[in-house]
A and B are shown apart, each in its own frame.
Chain A
Amino acid sequence: MIHLIYASVETQAFSSAQLTELLQKARVKNEDLHITGMLLYSDGNFFQVLEGEPDSVDGMYKKLHLDKRHQQLTMIVREPIAKRYFADWSMGFSSVTPEELRQVDGLNDFFRDGSCFVGLDNGRAKKLLATFAEGRWRARLASTERP
């Protein structure tokens, strides 16, 4: 089993209805392929963890390149893992404002009850999530001009 963690940027602003639709479709597909993980969306930036068998995950990542709704896909890490970090989530999701992300202190509030981040142990996925929260891996910088 592997996980593949990547970041990307939206091509056009997502509405919350579009995000919901994207998630629903992703969850159905992921369940078929036994892929678990999580997706974080913040001000036009995506950060996604995909975990599952190498063939499924690599195949999914390849398909994701064809999706015109995001661009600048950047693979951060692809490596073997001993267990799923997001075993209960066909795709955990959180949409947060850049302000909320900036306020994340040590990620403690971030891993609050009811989110898919509860119980995430101190492995690579959590560390990379923290770096994303700190503003790394966001090709699109937070802008105050956007409505």
Chain B
Amino acid sequence: MSLGMELHNAPDPNFTFAFQPIVDTESREVLSYEALIRGSGNQPAYQILEQVPAERMHLFDEKARMEAIGLAMRLGIGCDLNLNLLPSSLYSSPTAILSTMEAANRYHLPITRIVLEVTEGEIIADMTHFASLINEYRGLGLKVAIDDFGAGYSGLNLLVNFQPDQIKLDMFLVRGIEAHGPRQAIVRAIDQACRDLGIDVIAEGVETIAEYEWLANQGVRLFQGYLFAKPGFESFPPIHYPECS
């Protein structure tokens, strides 16, 4: 059976996407939309993912990216598109990224507009292997973001052998940062290292003006969070740019 048939006949749960913008608060432009898995009735991602058997997860992961590209193009996306990638599917399926690139071609989305997000915890186990696999596609213009950066044990070490295009600060580091010295010290260090290496820093999960102001004063200008826009179910939601006091 061909891979295409296998994907087609799979008893996967019904799913669709919500899109949440990553905004540049200085230029007031949308840098990208992250595609977030939802149920067809806007159920949260975990309720969908828990219905997928472990052995099918990488195929589901692959299919989700293809569908996300299709939906984003139907909605008329005019900026980057951030898509999640399970690194394990990169190891177990040779078509993991190829299928994404084919979908991009089919829908006329330039490859350079795609950002693959992988979580820090998932790649640290085999950084060298991951880097060599992903670098092949980076040569074609695909961008890479490390999600939940600073959440695990690796942190800055991760950047020694691999410099992604973006890192997304884990929301644990962002939460209440305006009043928390250790979080501030760590975020300053991450920001400095990323600046020196030409890596964009995105603050994720920003919910309050105070968090936003502290990060903006530090020089962070890319944000994703409820303060700016909630994920829009099958849509690109309206964006609110807060004013610093």
Tell me if B198 and A79 are in contact (CB < 8 A). no
A contact residues around B140 at 8 Å (CB): 82
Answer whether residue A26 sits at the interface, using C-beta atoms and an 8 A cutoff.
Answer: no
Tell me if B139 and A76 are in contact (CB < 8 A). no
Tell me if A131 and B138 are in contact (CB < 8 A). no
The complex places the Cα of A124 from the Cα of B96 at a distance, in Å, of 26
Interface residues of A in 84-130 (CB under 8 A from B): 124-125, 127-128
Question: By the criterion of a CB under 8 Å from any partner CB, how many residues of chain B are at the interface?
Answer: 16
CB < 8 Å: which of A79, A82, A125 contacts B163? A79
Tell me if B112 and A136 are in contact (CB < 8 A). no
CB < 8 Å: which of B139, B195, B198, B199 contacts A80? B139
Can you list, as one digit per residue, whether each of B156-200 has a CB less than 8 Å from chain A (1) or not (0)? 000000010100000000000000000000000000000111111
Q: Which 7 A-B pairs have the closest CB atoms?
A: A80-B139, A82-B141, A127-B198, A124-B198, A128-B198, A80-B138, A80-B135
Tell me if A81 and B196 are in contact (CB < 8 A). no
The complex places the Cα of A127 from the Cα of B197 at a distance, in Å, of 8
Tell me if B139 and A131 are in contact (CB < 8 A). no
In the complex, which residue of chain A has the Cβ closest to the Cβ of B141?
A: A82
Q: Report if A131-B198 is in contact (Cβ < 8 Å); known contacts: A79-B135, A81-B139, A83-B141.
A: yes
CB < 8 Å: which of B139, B196, B198 contacts A82? B139
Q: Looking at chain A, what size class is its interface with the partner chain?
A: 10 to 19
Answer whether residue A41 sits at the interface, using C-beta atoms and an 8 A cutoff.
Answer: no
The complex places the Cα of A82 from the Cα of B110 at a distance, in Å, of 12
Chain A positions within 8 Å of B, measured between CB atoms, are: 1-2, 76-77, 79-83, 124-125, 127-128, 131, 134, 136-137
Name 29 interchain pairs, CB-CB below 8 A, sorted by A: A2-B139, A76-B196, A76-B198, A77-B197, A77-B198, A79-B135, A79-B163, A80-B135, A80-B138, A80-B139, A81-B138, A82-B112, A82-B138, A82-B140, A82-B141, A83-B141, A124-B163, A124-B165, A124-B198, A125-B198, A127-B198, A127-B199, A127-B200, A128-B198, A131-B195, A131-B196, A134-B195, A136-B196, A137-B196
B contact residues around A137 at 8 Å (CB): 196
In the complex, which residue of chain A has the Cβ closest to the Cβ of B131?
A: A79
Main secondary structure of the interface of A (DSSP, over half): mixed
In whole Å, how far is A6's beta carbon from the nearest beta carbon of chain B? Answer: 13
Answer whether residue B6 sits at the interface, using C-beta atoms and an 8 A cutoff.
Answer: no
B contact residues around A1 at 8 Å (CB): 139
Can you list, as one digit per residue, whether each of B128-151 has a CB less than 8 Å from chain A (1) or not (0)? 000000011011110000000000
B contact residues around A80 at 8 Å (CB): 135-136, 138-139
The complex places the Cα of A76 from the Cα of B200 at a distance, in Å, of 16
The complex places the Cα of A110 from the Cα of B195 at a distance, in Å, of 19
In whole Å, how far is A56's beta carbon from the nearest beta carbon of chain B? Answer: 15
Most A CB contacts (10 A, CB to CB) among B135, B136, B198 go to B198
The complex places the Cα of A99 from the Cα of B139 at a distance, in Å, of 36
In whole Å, how far is B136's beta carbon from the nearest beta carbon of chain A? Answer: 7
In the complex, which residue of chain B has the Cβ closest to the Cβ of A82?
A: B141
The complex places the Cα of A81 from the Cα of B136 at a distance, in Å, of 10
The complex places the Cα of A82 from the Cα of B233 at a distance, in Å, of 33
Tell me if B195 and A136 are in contact (CB < 8 A). yes
A contact residues around B195 at 8 Å (CB): 131, 134, 136
Q: Report if A77-B139 is in contact (Cβ < 8 Å); known contacts: A82-B112, A131-B195.
A: no
B contact residues around A131 at 8 Å (CB): 195-196, 198
B contact residues around A83 at 8 Å (CB): 141
